[in-house]
Structure 1
Amino acid sequence: MEPVRQILRHKNAAVKFYEAEATKIDYEKKIVKISDNSDIKGTINETEVPYDMLVIGVGAENATFGIPGVRENSCFLKEIRDAQAIRTKIMDCVETAAFKDQDSSEIDRLLHMVVVGGGPTGVEFAGELRDFFDEDIKKLIPEISPRFKVTLIEALPTVLPMFSKQLIDYTESTFKEEHIEIKTKTMVKRVTDKTVEAEATNPDGTKSMITIPYGLLVWLLAMHSVHWLRI
């Protein structure tokens, strides 16, 4: 997400920006009622903005598709604070895995980073996550670093389905070299605080349920809202 004021600073036209929630639209009077929903409140928390032409374009939100446990247990990646939360959780997983006398199976779980979503953002994030560990974290915990693992889950038959076969093949071969596991034809059905439960389609077409333990789960599926114009 880009700061709106940073973008508007380079525009010649006069633009007024309000960080607020649109609570009601009166189409007859051509008025939008807005409310200040920030943590810091002033003396005026609600007001009205008149308009001649109204454009509604509220962008995208994280799509959980109603899958139980996703919103409660996943990390998303939309704002700067999301990135900060992800980095904090990675470090927590690493330090907990390195704790004295930690159980072996728990170390494997804590160092397993799962990314859901095989689109451009998911693929890029999985690669960056591997690089971050190899270039930075590996130096801190060399004794357990070989157990670090990244898995990318995608419900469709391939990652990057909107791109050419050449790019898909290149991505898959690169991930194989970097030891990033790709699980395609795998649909997440439920998420707990420690596991991902998914339905996988086998090569013969049959389906089976699998359970994937994780330390960090990053959910990178987005659903765009409807953008429309009203005069």
Structure 2
Amino acid sequence: MYIYEGANLIGSVKQYSGVPQQYIITYNASEKTPDDVRGYLVYNGNWNFYKMNQYTPPDDYKKLALILESPHTDEYSINGVIQRTPNGLLIPQRPANGFAGDQIDKFIQNRPWVNSLRNISDVFEVYIMNAIQYQCSAFDYIQGMTKLISPLRDAIFLEMWNNTKTGTTQFQSDLVDRIMKYSPNVIINACTKGTRTPTLQMRVEGLIQTMASGFYDIDDHPANPGKYRWK
């Protein structure tokens, strides 16, 4: 299966069990899910999370970037309906647009790293970002897909992240550029670990762990199954 960004070949991945046969996946730049300012994490006796329309921050607020690995199908949906242009391109909405976003809204203030933030500030503007802004699961690119196939997602992510055959590292540079644009004081790496070793999270960590001016930590993905799910 060949992976393209527009007319440019990124790489190829094998045919995985459970994935309908398809020879080419083509991503378009307009399908990148843009970073999103989700709200404010505020300490006022306890840590609380407020959406953008619920809180007016002071002038000296700090910034926190929560990094996820890549969008899935909810990030292109409105009320469960996939959004496409007339010529079939996906229309991105925002990162963590479904269950993962609900988990962030409800439980970010409960995460174990939160108590370390008071050394920096009592107010943080929270950015939600994907390390790669394309749908690496390819769920809405492959006709007949009925569920997430984690090995396929991981393989496409890694082809984009660092393909030794084609020299593809522009997605790493893109993430660095976006982080530098926002200059977060805190970075939380909540990427999916995936099925590979080193994990997807570890690969992203190697790039970004020194980019926070104040504090860096790792966490489970907000929508992880079972006991690792945010709560």
TM over 0.5: no
Which has the greater radius of gyration?
A: 1
TM-score by length of 1: 0.30
TM-score by length of 2: 0.30
Larger fraction in strand: 1
